[in-house]
Structure 1
């Protein structure tokens, strides 16, 4: 194949997975510096990549619509690109790739019986490995016919955008960002534990900033934690910032604490010290990517505490961790006993130890940012 002039990256999943396509896009730009690179994804999910200098434009498609409704869009997409990089295994992603480009490299399920037709449509196929290959590295393997894996991998965070003036005035020197909500219950550290954890931080004089969306579910999960204090000790910015502004907030934070969710990946990409709370999810696949790590797994599947660069990943000490299922009952609304078993004290101890290690700051517990809160 001649060097492509137009490349389409297909990322039809949620915002966290979209962010993890950034290393693939950067690698494609390095391989083909003169190519135009577009990203196709569902409407409302591409914000993590907006402002990325390696991207020319975005192609938004409606999620959940049938092919009849999508037909006008499909006609416009027909063979507009020289190469499609398909970062999802879904039927729809592969059909979009077939429509868009003559040359296609894509991810396919491990079971040949359900992926044969997708392999037939591809010039290069990457078999999904749900056990031992990080998602970031798996996406980079889509470029194997044209370049080797890079020696180190970075996830480009969205560029900074100024915070609202009223929020900027309230922020102390060392805010701690806490992300309480999870989209699915099986990834949720219990709200009662968040209440106890944030209460301990406030008792030590730390400023806590709560993030999340404006959805009814997120607001219900945040409400009891928000009630622990008032600004400036507790600031709730949930639903008030775009992703670029959330990135600005995270870059100013002394620490971020959150579950297996998209904002946790964003915090790691921003270079913020992260304490990630993992339950049944396999961290080899989905652990927050430590900036500059080699193209290999930063984590083991199960370890009570793992640390890589600026990311600390905590798991419960149970034999079933990490099972890889959607909780104990294997559905989105299942409870996860492993998350329920993760003690507040362990999380608190990790956070306080990380805060004491901040360079150039007073290391006495409770002094960080306290002067701005009085």
Structure 2
């Protein structure tokens, strides 16, 4: 039976989350809970560079280290140089504890190279993995359990029970993002709390609600007098989805603004914090809206809403009640990239969820 870390003696810890934006954001409570339990401990994090805005400015964070996924495109020599530079930086921190929050094999190698006294990771297959860490937690918890709680299981495996106040997902936009959004809202005459923010797209289009249905929802909300702000990532497919929604609009009874591809992730957070309501699909912007405390309507298809739904915020999840196969976790029905549980989801159900939260 492995011993638990002496929290009072912890000097430095490294939290590793090498996943996508939403995954990294939902790992933020691990930082808060560990800092609360060991306030003297310096807590660092290691993430992919493009996901760094999800943790940047976190009050529990001392240093944020990043891996650029583009290193491998620079040639072998440049990649090895960057990898060695990162490893040297991490070694110089002399971590007592490494918390690895995924089954990425790099975590096992890092622990062997950094040699912390304690290390924890999801339980996974293979003797190399099993011999790399001192403590383990279940890699997959119950499907009715939220991902935030699964991440916090890493601390429970170390004998630390997170407090309720530490389970909040913290995201800080920063002064530059706040100033940019204040100026943008002033330019377009948008009052705080006086508009609805819609983010219809996801990097995985099989998670998206059809454009014609989103357009009908926009018409219904605009007919009720709500100004609308639509956003999307700079990717061509996401911007094309928003363009199609706007092209299908029939009612223009309230102002509609398209900020697709114009905002950074920090600016997106600052914008959604000022909205009366957020409407979107299972995507990082939905998690961002929840982290900012904005009432959230989340449209779910093949992914599990119990695991990935809005966390710790007033919300409504809208998902098909007529498809017992969901959540299947598949990229569309039989790999088609089209999810019937989304294409057949009525506008009326999403509108009803919006109206409940707008009350």
Q: TM-score, normalised by structure 2?
A: 0.85
Aligned Cα root-mean-square deviation (Å)? 2.3
Partners of 2:254 and 2:347 in 1: CA distance: 24
Task: Select the residue among 341, 344, 348 that pairs with 1:341.
Answer: 344
Aligned to 2:135: 124
Preserved contact between residue 225 and residue 254 of structure 2 (Cα < 8 Å): no
Q: How does 1:345-356 map onto structure 2 within 5 Å?
A: 345-355=348-358
Matched, 1:99 2:113: yes
Task: Select the residue among 127, 133, 141 that pairs with 2:145.
Answer: 133
> Deviation digits for residues 268-319 of structure 1, max 9, x if unmatched?
111111110001111222112124xxxxxxxxxxxxxxxxxx0110111221
Aligned to 1:296: none
> Deviation digits for residues 106-126 of structure 1, max 9, x if unmatched?
1234xxxx3432121111111
Aligned to 1:57: 63
Aligned to 1:142: 154
Q: How does 1:49-198 map onto structure 2 within 5 Å?
A: 49-63=55-69, 65=71, 69=80, 70-78=83-91, 80=93, 81-102=95-116, 103-109=118-124, 114-129=125-140, 131-144=143-156, 145-151=158-164, 153-159=167-173, 161-162=178-179, 163-170=181-188, 171-172=190-191, 173-198=193-218
Partners of 1:94 and 1:342 in 2: CA distance: 42
Structure 1 position 128, deviation (Å): 1.3
Partners of 1:268 and 1:72 in 2: CA distance: 36
Change (3 A) 1:10 1:94: same
Partners of 1:231 and 1:344 in 2: CA distance: 19
- Count of residues in correspondence between the two structures: 332
Change (3 A) 1:230 1:93: farther
Change (3 A) 1:45 1:254: same
What secondary structure sits across from 1:264 in the alignment? helix
Unaligned runs of 5+ in 2: none
Matched, 1:266 2:272: no
Partners of 2:232 and 2:148 in 1: CA distance: 24
Preserved contact between residue 279 and residue 338 of structure 1 (Cα < 8 Å): yes
What secondary structure sits across from 1:40 in the alignment? strand
> Deviation digits for residues 312-333 of structure 1, max 9, x if unmatched?
1011122112123332224xx6
Change (3 A) 1:97 1:335: farther
Q: How does 1:39-54 map onto structure 2 within 5 Å?
A: 39-54=45-60
What secondary structure sits across from 2:112 in the alignment? helix
Aligned to 2:315: 311
Structure 1 position 129, deviation (Å): 1.6
Unaligned runs of 5+ in 1: 292-309, 358-374
Structure 1 position 100, deviation (Å): 3.2
Q: How does 1:179-328 map onto structure 2 within 5 Å?
A: 179-227=199-247, 228=249, 233-291=255-313, 310-317=314-321, 318-328=323-333
Change (3 A) 1:79 1:104: farther
Task: Select the residue among 11, 16, 20 that pairs with 1:10.
Answer: 16
Change (3 A) 1:185 1:343: same
Structure 1 position 164, deviation (Å): 4.9
Preserved contact between residue 108 and residue 115 of structure 1 (Cα < 8 Å): no
Structure 1 position 223, deviation (Å): 1.0
> Deviation digits for residues 86-145 of structure 1, max 9, x if unmatched?
011111233234333422111234xxxx34321211111112125343211111111122
What secondary structure sits across from 2:97 in the alignment? strand
Partners of 2:196 and 2:339 in 1: CA distance: 26
Change (3 A) 1:197 1:290: same
Structure 1 position 234, deviation (Å): 1.0
